[in-house]
Structure 1
Amino acid sequence: MMNTNSNTEKSVLVTGGAGFIAVHCILQLLNAGYRVRTTLRDLNREPAVRAMLREGGVEAGERLTFIKADLSSDAHWDEAVKDCTYVLHVASPTPKLNFKHEDEMIIPAREGVLRVLRASKDAGVKRMVLTSAIGAIVYGHPKQTAPYDEAVWTDTTHAPAYQKSKTLAERAAWEFMKSEGGNLELAVVNPAAVMGPVLGPDYSHSIYLVKNLLTGKMAGCPKINSCFVDVRDVADLHLRAMLDPKANGERFIATGGESIWLAEVAKMLKANLGDKAGKVKAMQLPNIVLRIAALKDPMVKSMVPLLGMQMNLTSAKAIELLGWSPRSPKDAILAAAESLIRLNLL
């Protein structure tokens, strides 16, 4: 995205500024010349966010401002969106492993989206881009090998709690737009498992897959299949969805290519990282091993519904409509691994 002087007059709100995708969105917005405001639940995180941006090559200075706001409260959202042309609503409750009831994830996700939409509409924001997930697309369907596209929605009667929360939050956003959106525009990005370079200790839960392989924490690879996408391309797609007239009212899957099995990810690390991948075990584990481990480990339990599922998706829509051009899954995975090693985060 080009840095044009006209952008310096425009402010963009990015919610949840300490998050992995959010920091990369802020980086690209600053590089494109925008002024950025970002929300944090705790303003003590500001130095950490600025440090991650520095790691990404940008000294943000006063072009970036911070405001305290929480998705579970009405406070400060009016102030957060004031004078912003665009809003990237990236913040979302992260997956909880030890929740007592799924509403602990569903309610904050859905209510949070509606709070930000309402405030954006009232402030005269032109367009909001919502970060949803492929979790709002791929669950609860009969097995299929054809790639899923944006016309498909997760069947929430059969979805795990986190994926259910993403689905219901995105559905609530589209409902809001239909009933009371006014002049506000909405576009949605649904990323696959997000890889790419980490800039500090905050990164997506998907990257723990790579971390756990590199540290030898995984005794082998469960039979899990996923699409992968580089965080830099996810951020680029957010900017395209923010600016392109054709993106209004559309959802866009973000994947760097066809889905691959976890054992292939392990082999990729071994083939490309030499000694640094010495602890990686590329053997495929029998499903029963995972089912037994799931009895004790909530992280493992969350993987059980995915065993043997073909999770293939297509980004043809983003590529054709918005000219998006993502890196390969291999590049995204290796960038994640190399950055974890470089920043001593293993």
Structure 2
Amino acid sequence: MNEHDIEVLVTGGTGFIAQYCILALLNRGYRVRTTVRSLAREAEVREHLRAGGTDPGDRLSFFAADLNADAGWAQAMAGCVYVMHGASPTPTGQHSSEEAWVRPAVEGNLRVLRAARDAGVRRVVLTSAFGAICAGHQRMSRPFTEADWSDLNGKQIWPYQKSKTLSERAAWDFIAREGQGLECSAINPVAVLGPALGADYSHSIRLIKNLLDGQPGSPKINSGFVDVRDVADLHMRAMTDPAASGERFLAIAGDSMWLADVAKVLKNRMGDAGARVSTRVLPDWLVRLGALKDPALRGAVPLLGLNLNATSEKARRLLGWSPRPREEAIVATAESLIRLGLLDHS
């Protein structure tokens, strides 16, 4: 069976990673289906895909399906050989309860896996997160690997990290106990950068936007980075490579970076567009003080001074994955924000 005869379902077609997975699949010749909560967003998704260089035409079809309900999933899966499952419920509001994060994430994963099994899907590639690996640990003297799981008994666990950890664990438990031969791979990306396709972009891209918009400095926070195009490429490899079945893969390009070093890349590489970037490191006491009033800073406090380095050695060795340098991902993100007119010039 060649690619042109194979249907692949990508869940959550409005998502940043999902849209790049759709682009990668279309460019490889697959027929693609995607789920959205509302079919009213089809035009927006198609517009983003065209911005990404591909007009899918009738090789892409849309299905209405919500992670919180069974309706639509059987129809979306019917006849699919593979599923890339990246849809994830995101509660709105700064103070959403832990329950509002965790239950829909766990039940959503199980709903998708059950539908995939019942439809005779060969393999599901699950988009998990670094948040299922790195949270709750004491300071590490080595890079994180796929063998690590977030310690939910540790300090300062965010509802997002808990939801990603418990939903990925639930997926693996389902595969072991009820999968009936359904294969699964998981991708655990760090902060995902790369060219934005429109005004609806990922949380990680906001880091770059804030620097370009002239935020007064960066807290002493460390993060890994990876380009969304390489994350999509890793999904493609995990979908078809026999070595990927039953495995999870960390997606990171090179070593992690301090945010002030990200600022330096922008300052050095973006010319006039980087003029407002501050390479100053904000003192920890100032960040703690600001966090008393600003909920957005509150999440930064437990990360101050914490090295969150990780390694993608496994993906490179088993799947031949070779991501572009982190600096390239940073610059591509910045260039796309400029091109789309998304920077604040006030």
Residue in structure 2 matched with residue 311 of structure 1 by the alignment:
308
1:133-282 mapped onto 2 (5 Å cutoff): 133-158=129-154, 159-216=157-214, 218-282=215-279
Secondary structure of 1:331's partner? helix
Matched residue, 2:52: 56
Structure 1, unaligned runs of 5 or more: none
**Kept in 2: contact 1:192–1:226 (CA 8 A):** yes
- Where do residues 20-39 of structure 1 align in structure 2 (5 Å cutoff)? 20-39=16-35
TM-score, normalization: structure 1? 0.96
Q: Distance in 2 between matches of 1:114 and 1:284?
A: 43
CA distance in 2, matches of 1:248, 1:104: 31
Q: Point out the more displaced range, 321-330 or 199-208.
A: 199-208
Deviation at 1:293, TM superposition (A): 1.7
| CA deviation map 1:136-181 (0-9, x unaligned) | 0011111013111000000012321111110000000001011101
Q: Which residue of 2 aligns with 1:121?
A: 117
Q: Which secondary structure state, in structure 2, belongs to the residue aligned with residue 156 of structure 1? A: coil
Q: Which residue of 1 aligns with 2:76?
A: 80
When the two structures are aligned, how many residues end up with a matched partner? 341
Distance (whole Å) between structure 1 residues aligned to residue 91 and residue 125 of structure 2: 21
Q: Quick one: distance in 1 between partners of 2:279 and 2:42?
A: 39
Report SS of the residue matched to 2:153.
helix
Residue 8 (str. 1) matches residue 9 (str. 2): no
Distance 1:97 1:329, change over 3 A: farther
1:96, distance to aligned residue in structure 2 (A)? 4.8
CA contact (8 A) 1:55 1:199 kept: yes
1:93 aligns with one of 68, 89, 92: 89
* Residue equivalent to 1:330: 327
Counterparts of 1:220 and 1:12, CA distance in 2: 43
Contact 1:145–1:312, Cα closer than 8 Å, also in 2: no
Paired AA for residue 172 in structure 1 = A
- For 1:284, the equivalent position in structure 2 comes to 281
Output the amino acid matched with 1:263.
A
What secondary structure sits across from 1:157 in the alignment? coil
Return the alpha-carbon distance in structure 2 between the equivalents of residues 119 and 264 of structure 1: 44
1:215 Cα deviation after fit: 0.8
Partner letter of residue 210 of structure 2?
N
SS of 2:2's equivalent?
A: helix
Equivalent pair of 1:258/1:314 in contact (CA under 8 Å): yes
**Which ranges of structure 2 fall in alignment gaps of 5 or more residues?**
none
* Aligned residues of 2:91 and 2:100 also touching (Cα < 8 A): no
Instruction: State the distance in 2 between where 1:167 and 1:133 align.
Output: 8
Fraction of identical pairs, as percent: 58
Alignment partner of 1:42 is 2:44: no
In structure 2, what residue type is equivalent to 1:323?
A: G
Q: C-alpha displacement at 1:128, in angstroms?
A: 0.1
Give the match for residue 14 of structure 2: 18
Aligned partners of 1:340 and 1:171: how far apart in 2? 35
250-259 or 196-205, which moves further after superposition? 196-205
Q: Residue by residue, what CA displacement relative to the aligned partner does 1:255-284 show, whole Å, maximum 9, x if unpaired?
A: 011011000000110001111111111100
The 4+ residue runs of structure 1 with deviation greater than 4 A are none
Q: Is the 8 A contact 2:109 2:171 kept in 1?
A: yes
Query: CA RMSD of the aligned region, Å?
Result: 1.1
